[in-house]
């Protein structure tokens, strides 16, 4: 039996979908093998945040590009919308602190 923290995005989606179809917590628990507490927590989280997935595992991940790099990337893309990826990477790598590979 999977605990609340062990649920993946798919399992959370199954729980939310079953509850939206009108099934009770007990029916979902019997059908899918989750505890009633797990089902009520997952559904409550969905009602509060509107999301079925949990992204806590990415909370401390370092960002690859800085804010200035994002703005520069936006300017490059606006300048030439039909550029292919190698051209964009080459334009981005000219005089930048963070290099990008394709």
- pLDDT tens digits, 49-102: 777 665 555 566 677 778 888 888 889 889 988 989 899 888 888 866 666 777
Q: Which helix (H) or strand (E) holds 52?
A: none
- This prediction's pTM: 0.47
CA 92 to chain centre: 26
| Residue among 62, 69, 67 nearest 94 (CA) | 69
94 and 52 in contact (C-beta within 8 Å)?
Answer: no
């Amino acid at each position: 039996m999977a605990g609340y923290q062990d649920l993946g995005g798919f399992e959370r989606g199954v729980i939310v979908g079953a509850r939206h179809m009108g099934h009770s917590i007990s029916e979902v628990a019997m059908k899918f093998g989750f505890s009633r507490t797990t089902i009520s927590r997952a559904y409550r989280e969905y009602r509060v945040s509107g999301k079925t997935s949990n992204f806590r595992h990415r909370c401390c991940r370092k960002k690859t590009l800085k804010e200035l790099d994002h703005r520069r990337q936006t300017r490059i893309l606006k300048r030439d919308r039909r550029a292919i990826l190698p051209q964009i990477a080459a334009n981005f790598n000219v005089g930048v602190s963070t290099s990008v590979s394709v």
